[in-house]
Amino acid sequence: MVRWKRAGFLLMLDIVFANLAFIGAMLIRFESVSIQQWQFYISAFVPYTVIRLLSNYFFGIYRRAWRYASIDEVLAIVGAVSVGSIFSVMLCLFWYGALPPRSIVVLDWFLNIALLGGSRFAWRVIAPHTSGLAHAQQKRAFKNVLIIGAGDGGVLVARELRNHYGTRVRLVGFVDDDPAKQNQSILGFPVLGPKEEIPDLVEQYGVDEIIISMPSVPRRVIREIVAVAQETGRTVKILPGVFDLIDGNVTVNKIREVQIEDLLGRDPVKVDIAGMSGYIADHVVLVTGAGGSIGSELCRQIVALKPQTLLLLDNCENNMYEIEMELKAKSDVPLVALVKDIRDRGAIEAIFSKYKPQVVFHAAAHKHVPLMEQNPEESIKNNVYGTYQVAWAAHRHKTERFVLVSTDKAVNPTSVMGASKRIAEMIIQYLDTISSTTYVAVRFGNVLGSRGSVIPLFRKQILAGGPVTITHEKMIRYFMTIPEAVQLILQAGALATSGEIFVLDMGEPVAIMDLAMTLIRLSGLQPYIDIDIKVTGMRPGEKLYEELLTDEEGVNATTHERIFVAKPSCLNKALLHETITAFEQGPRVALPTNQATTAAFIQSFLPDFVVVTNADEDSLDDASDDSTRWPEDEAAATSLGEYGWNV
**pTM of the full structure:** 0.60
pLDDT tens track for 138-192: 444 578 899 998 888 888 888 878 777 766 788 889 999 888 888 888 887 888 9
Query: Are 546 and 477 spatial neighbours (Cβ–Cβ below 8 Å)?
Result: yes
How high does pLDDT run on average in the chain? 77
Neighbour tally for 122: CB within 10 Å = 11
Task: Provide the residue count of the chain.
Answer: 647
pLDDT tens track for 346-386: 999 999 999 999 999 999 999 888 888 889 999 999 999 99
Contacts of 291 (CB under 8 A, 6+ apart): 312, 314, 316, 318, 319, 320, 322, 323
d(CA 337, CA 360): 15
Task: Sketch the domain layout of the chain as residue ranges.
Answer: 2-134, 143-258, 273-643
**Virtual torsion, Cα 546, 446, 463, 236, nearest 10 deg:** 100
Fold matches, 143-258 and 273-643: yes
d(CA 454, CA 507): 18
d(CA 582, CA 607): 20
Percent of the chain with pLDDT over 70: 75
pLDDT of 89 strictly over 90: no
* Structure confidence at residue 363 (pLDDT): 94
Comparing CA positions, the residue from 646, 118, 499, 290 lying closest to residue 635 is 646
- Better-predicted residue by pLDDT, 421 or 103: 421
C-alpha distances in angstroms, 145 versus 162, 169, 398, 512, 625? Answer: 11, 7, 61, 32, 53
pLDDT of 408 strictly over 60: yes
CATH class, domain 273-643, is alpha beta
Give the residue numbers marked as catalytic: 409
pLDDT of 636 strictly over 60: no
Query: Are 472 and 641 spatial neighbours (Cβ–Cβ below 8 Å)?
Result: no
pLDDT tens track for 485-515: 888 888 888 887 777 888 876 666 777 887 7
d(CA 342, CA 308): 23
d(CA 581, CA 596): 22
* Structure confidence at residue 351 (pLDDT): 96
d(CA 87, CA 102): 14
d(CA 352, CA 336): 13
d(CA 106, CA 339): 75
CATH number, domain 143-258:
3.40.50.720
* Structure confidence at residue 552 (pLDDT): 42
pLDDT band at 622 (very low <50, low <70, confident <90, very high): very low
d(CA 237, CA 203): 18
Using DSSP, state whether 386 is helix, strand or coil. Answer: helix
